[in-house]
Amino acid sequence: MYICRMTEKILILDFGSQFTQLIARCVREANVYCEIIPYNKPFVIDSTLKGIILSGSPFSVNDAAPPIVDVAALAVQVPVLGVCYGAQLTAKQLGGRVDKSNKREYGRAILTIAGQDALLQGLPPDSHVWMSHSDSIAALPEGFEVLATTSSIPVAAFRRASGNGFPLYGLQFHPEVHHSAEGKKIISNFLINVCGCTQNFTPNAFIAETIENLKKQIGDAKVIMGLSGGVDSTVAATLISRAIGKNLYGIFVDNGLLRKGEFEQVLDIYKQLDLNVTGIDAKQLFYDALAGKTDPEAKRKTIGGLFIDVFQQEAAKIEDASFLGQGTIYPDVIESISVHGPSATIKSHHNVGGLPATMKLSLVEPLRSLFKDEVRKVGLALGIPHDLLFRHPFPGPGLAIRILGEVTEEKVTLLQDADDLYTKALKETGLYDKVWQAGTILLPVKSVGVMGDERTYEFTVALRAVTSVDGMTADWAHLPYEFLADISNNIINHVPGINRVVYDISSKPPATIEWE
């Protein structure tokens, strides 16, 4: 399977920090390609490797068996930057001392620059940084010097001032988090001033290299791909199509659980993009299979299993196919790799968990090295419509998990109509792009209402809107009261069968974004 490797890259060695992906995102935002690998995974240092960043860790360097790498050996070959645990490991291995702090330092601190250096170029004398550690560097190794301090710790940033090898730095704080005001500037300084990166990792460069490599990987073979109308699968399919044309065979299954009008709209977009896609109307199959099922996990398994059956039936009609295309992105890959101790596998993602045994196909995953925001940038460069690329996340099982209880065609229609009004109202008022995800949930209860002189007994829907950065945590969106009042009236007046609208003000955690 092909992974993009530009002419220059940064390697991030992961010691299990919860912030490791944020380091990678900061590097990518500077248009420099990087990869995250477990600290104990072998790797080759070649001419494309411009530098190495050592991540933080929940471990202490003073543990009986801490995760380690030979920092000195790395710094003989490329510039190295240690972050938090990485900085402490650097100090201890080269002869310094790391002690337990008098108290755990967590949260904001003021960084005061003590010495000018390429790493801190352009920073103000004082700036906010984010600390998260229980150990502190008590003494630097010989030949090292302090670059910055805080009121609590004497060594907040340091460098090797003398000795053989490439530049070697350590930061006791986390520059990668939002709360470190000049953090991105520090990382950018390391990439450009210290490592000499030319910042050539751009959407157009990625597209050109990926298409060329896809041509080499696939040749004249056929690729089958299941499409959903989502961002990742659409961008991946467009890249593959640019490489092999009509030898890509897309299959888009309508499971009856999509948003209102979505099947037809997405097929029209695929036609505009000149993708070779077959639409399969399987709504009734899914409705029949879901009849009587109320348990969320049972619904998920039913939908997933039936999708594979329908997909395989259609795929079997394509003779001599050799590859299966997938929209796997970098977080899927990272979350499916277990790092020693702290980064136990978060989930086994469907895109990296293997294929059905009956499908003897090799994988082709052109987005495997990209984060979600990078996928969108590539999509824009490919000419994919903005509305598709920036749609809110939508659950794989579709509206089935936004209908609490049994799924029926009647309930799906109710929810589609209500959700369509909600989505349109968010867009018309400019609120859509201000929230991470919004959706409507059909509750399994009816309540009494009054319309005109008549008594009603109809369904209730809950509106959900959250703000988030990555979906790992989320806060409920504080939508204006006037908006909520208007959309409530609109849904009740225009969707027969619904007479009550409520708004979900739960955050994640303790709640989840979806209700099931």
Q: How many CB atoms lie within 10 A of CB 122?
A: 10
Q: What is the rounded distance in angstroms from the CA atom of residue 407 to the CA atom of residue 404?
A: 8
* 228 within 8 A of 265, measured Cβ to Cβ: no
d(CA 172, CA 86): 8
70 C-beta neighbours (distance < 10 Å), count:
9
Beta strand segments in 30-163, E? 34-38, 49-54, 80-83, 97-113, 126-139, 144-149, 157-160
80-83, strands of its sheet edge to edge: 34-38, 9-14, 49-54, 80-83, 168-171, 157-160, 144-149, 97-113, 126-139
Chain-centroid distance of CA 302 in Å reads: 26
Residue 11 pairs with which residues in a beta bridge?
Answer: 35, 52
Annotated catalytic residues are 84, 174, 176
- The answer to whether the CB of 488 falls within 8 A of the CB of 450 is no
Name every residue whose Cβ is closer than 8 Å to that of residue 76 and which is 6 or more positions away in sequence: 164, 165, 166
Query: What phi and psi, each to the nearest 5 degrees, are found at residue 371?
Result: -85, 165
